[in-house]
Amino acid sequence: MTLLTTWPESGPGTLLRRTADPVEIAAALEPLGVRYERWPVREDVPADADSETVFAAYGPQIDRLTAEEGFTTVDVLGLHPGDDPEYPVRAKAAREKFLQEHTHDDDDEVRFFVSGSGVFYLHVGSEVHAVYCEKGDLLGVPRGATHWFDMGTRPSFTAIRFFHEEDGWIATFTGSAIASRFPDYDTLAAGYEQEKDAA
């Protein structure tokens, strides 16, 4: 399930919103120009499925979204702990790349989570919105929106990425240290799991 948490940009001392209701999340994100959808989850798709398996499983949804938005490139990105001795190095480098506040001048950032989870942080106006996404969630951050993404210290996810531009992910970094002021993925995920266990 998705979790939306909103704070003032000054820091997380004041909680402005916290909801796991998909209707409320969609209503809160729509005015920000953020696309949020829930796709039916394919439980028969392994968490670390390869691109061919993912495309076969989610073909109709991919085709619909590509037709609606005019995407030219769709790919699958996966990062999972396992037997790969390079995983710690690759995971750290990937996390650091996305963890700094940035914008995309020429493209939206659209991701569908096939498995695993991650948090998009949207810095809009005087607020920061943390959108904790799990499998089945699609999130589209509009071009020009200031944001960052955290996959945690031990990333484990597979995501479909949609691009209008063939060059793929190109970021303009703001140089701000704002990301360091807010709870990271590991903190949010741990709290969320405790809440679900208690429910």
pTM (two decimals): 0.93
Q: How far apart are CA 26 and CA 5, in angstroms?
A: 13
Binding residue per annotation — 102?
yes
User: Does the annotation list 109 as a binding residue?
Assistant: yes
Contact indicator for 125, 81 with CB cutoff of 8 Å: no
Q: Give the pLDDT band of residue 117 (cuts 50, 70, 90).
A: very high
pLDDT tens, residue by residue, 63-79: 999 999 999 999 999 99
> According to the annotation, is 123 in a ligand binding site?
no
Q: Are 130 and 179 in contact (CB under 8 A)?
A: no
CATH 2.60.120.10 fits 3-192, yes or no: yes
Q: Annotation-wise, does 80 bind a ligand?
A: no
Locus of tokens 């266990």? 197
Give the residue among 146, 117, 142, 144 at the shortest CA–CA distance from 129. Answer: 146
**Domain residues of the chain, as ranges?**
3-192
